Amino acid sequence: MAYAHAMKAAVIGGSGYLGTELLRLLAGHPELDVTLVQAAGAAGSPVTARAPGLASAYGDVVYAPVDPDACAGADVVFVAVPSGASQDLVGALVDRVGCVVDLGADFRLRDASAYERWYGFEHRRPDLLARAVYGLPELTRAALPGARLVAAPGCYVTAASLALAPLVAAGVIEARGVVVDAASGTSGAGRSLTDQTHHAAVNESFSAYKVLEHRHTPEMEQAIGAELVFTPHLAPMTRGILATCYGRATRPTSTAELVELLATVYDGEPFVQVTPALVSTRECYGTNLARLTARYDERTGTVVVLSAIDNLTKGGSGQAIQAANAALGLPEVTGLPRVAVGP
């Protein structure tokens, strides 16, 4: 879909769930024109073979082979390939395009040595880590304008960081002993099936996985500024994350004070809604919204913060576009939905 004076955008990894969501959102973006869609496993096939719902915007588009050279000169390139695979692509793109937004984990962590422990690979481009700007605009907005390399946050990390970072920064909760329990829809596991993500395994079931070893743990600690225990769960739904976060209060507080603190921190933020009511994933379905609320338990001195997002949008592709908007000097809200799909 072309617009007068639109910037050129390319998507590498356009056949996965995040890539498909990028294409869906970019189809309605008035300033970014998708001129190239690459996908290694789907090269040569039409986009509509993998994503029939995109036919009205990409009916004639065919997935191209992955080739960073073909992206040269683009204003922005979104890289949506598995973690460990993007660093070589990003290395070949940075400084040859206006901005690279990596949706994988390869440039999120500041400590290159952490990748071997948490991701199982040795980082091959540690020289680029210092150049990468973390793409969570509500927390890192000042560094985004003009950024050439943006590391889009993980989905669980987004939900937990928006909930907890303000409370840690304000000294309301202790920076140790934080607990994050979060449940995600099955799309968070990606398009490729495993024994654990088949419909028959997920339907009518609710399970924890990767207990004490999930790779988003160090990224959460880095973004929140606290030591924590993270337990992810797989829920029998397609999209969404609900994070229930616990912290020990540093002083007596109240539910009203906590909600007011979050509301003040996020006042004016177009994609964060703070409410005194409990929140749910349905309220964010298909949007770039995060909805937050908090509670204080006087009996135990515990702060509880609830955070709901759509893992593919605010937890993935929507946030990547929000960060790209900021990097390119566009209003952050451009092309991003704030009204949920329902029922």
Catalytic residues: 155
162 three-state secondary structure: helix
**d(C-alpha 224, C-alpha 165), whole Å:** 4
Kindly provide the b/e burial profile for residues 125-153, where b requires at least 16 CB atoms within 10 angstroms of the residue's own CB: beebbeebbbbbbbbbeebbeebbbbbbb
Q: Do the beta carbons of residue 27 and residue 1 sit within 8 Å? A: yes
DSSP for 55-84, written as a single string = HHHHTT-BPBPP-GGGGTT-SEEEE---TT
- Residue 272 CA: distances (Å) to CA of 134, 170, 291, 308: 18, 18, 6, 10
- 12: β partners: 38, 79
**d(C-alpha 188, C-alpha 283), whole Å:** 18
**d(C-alpha 58, C-alpha 231), whole Å:** 38
**d(C-alpha 157, C-alpha 272), whole Å:** 15
**d(C-alpha 5, C-alpha 8), whole Å:** 9
Q: In this structure, what DSSP letter does residue 313 have?
A: I
**d(C-alpha 151, C-alpha 8), whole Å:** 20
